[in-house]
């Protein structure tokens, strides 16, 4: 883990990315992906992920990234009579097989922004439509993922939260991703865990943070981002309130 770990909100739209430089590690609820320069990746919609840049700041990550907005996908589906055969339960990340057509497409685009940048490059609609055509030529089965506009199905709340509590998502995002209204999510959460979601998330993250610092002797700055806190000051305040000492003091005592 590194202090530069980036928390990302869930992706409401699919994202296509070609890594032009560097190596990127992506953490999802169930998998760890290592993406290298020259690889094509499709990040599917309605997913949570953390992006772990390299340790050395000089190893800059560059990527050409296109967001596949739902309105463009819907228009493309109508114009090309595309229907979803079945609802595909997709992984958070789908590697795309390289081919000459995709390589030529990438060469036409200007170099992308560093992936740490908060904004994606904006490409015209025609460029997105061309990419969709090429993706379907590469793998026709992608239509069941790209053009599936249904909301997330109702998930096993206990299993989902145990896998995803480390992601700094909002309660509203957690409720959406588990296929519930906000009211139903809060009600079901209390029934499953015996306390409100905000309190459970805080306790769960602090408990794991304490173990990582005092047993595994990891740096508090690394632990803060890993367990799902938004910033170090909030983490330190909550940690000291629960344990009576700061994270750095806890680490020093455990050594």
Whether the Cβ atoms of residue 72 and residue 129 lie closer than 8 Å to each other:
yes
Report the CATH fold assignment for 157-254. Answer: Arc Repressor Mutant, subunit A (1.10.10)
User: With 0-12 CB in 10 A as exposed, 13-18 as middle and 19+ as buried, what is 16?
Assistant: buried
Is the fold of 6-146 the same as that of 157-254? no
How far apart are the C-alpha atoms of 146 and 135, rounded to whole Å?
A: 10
How far apart are the C-alpha atoms of 83 and 66, rounded to whole Å?
A: 23
In 209-236, which positions are buried (b, 16+ CB within 10 angstroms) versus exposed (e)?
A: bbebbbeeebebbbbbbbbbbeeeeebb
> Looking at domain 6-146, does it have CATH number 2.60.120.810?
yes
Whether the Cβ atoms of residue 174 and residue 165 lie closer than 8 Å to each other:
no
Please say if the pLDDT value at position 7 is more than 50. Answer: no
pLDDT tens, 156-172?
A: 999 999 999 999 999 99
pLDDT tens, 216-247?
A: 999 999 999 889 998 899 999 999 999 999 99
How far apart are the C-alpha atoms of 129 and 137, rounded to whole Å?
A: 12
Place of tokens 């560097």: 22
Average pLDDT over residues 196-213: 97
According to the model, what pLDDT value does residue 118 have?
41
The residue ranges of every structural domain in the chain are: 6-146, 157-254
Q: What is the pTM of this model?
A: 0.85
């Amino acid at each position: 883990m590194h202090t530069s770990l980036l928390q990302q909100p869930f992706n409401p739209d699919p994202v296509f990315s070609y890594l032009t430089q560097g190596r990127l590690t992506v953490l999802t609820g169930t998998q760890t992906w290592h993406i290298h320069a020259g690889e094509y990746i499709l990040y599917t919609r309605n997913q949570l992920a953390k992006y772990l840049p390299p340790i050395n700041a000089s190893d800059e990550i560059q990527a050409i990234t296109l967001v596949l907005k739902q309105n463009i996908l819907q228009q493309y589906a109508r114009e090309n009579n595309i229907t979803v055969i079945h609802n595909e339960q997709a992984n958070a990340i789908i590697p795309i097989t390289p081919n000459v057509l995709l390589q030529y497409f990438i060469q036409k685009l200007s170099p992308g922004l560093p992936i740490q940048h908060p904004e994606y490059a904006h490409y015209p609609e025609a460029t997105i439509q061309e990419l969709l055509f090429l993706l379907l030529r590469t793998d026709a089965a992608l239509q069941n993922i790209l053009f599936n506009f249904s909301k997330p199905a109702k998930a096993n709340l206990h299993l989902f939260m145990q896998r995803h509590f480390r992601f700094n998502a909002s309660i509203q995002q957690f409720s959406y991703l588990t296929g519930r209204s906000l009211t139903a999510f809060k009600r079901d959460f209390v029934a499953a865990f015996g306390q409100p979601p905000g309190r459970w998330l805080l306790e769960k993250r602090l408990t794991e943070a304490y173990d990582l610092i005092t047993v595994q002797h990891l740096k508090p700055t690394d632990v803060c981002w890993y367990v799902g806190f938004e910033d170090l000051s909030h983490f330190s305040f909550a940690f000291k309130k629960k344990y009576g000492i700061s994270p750095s003091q806890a680490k020093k005592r455990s050594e």
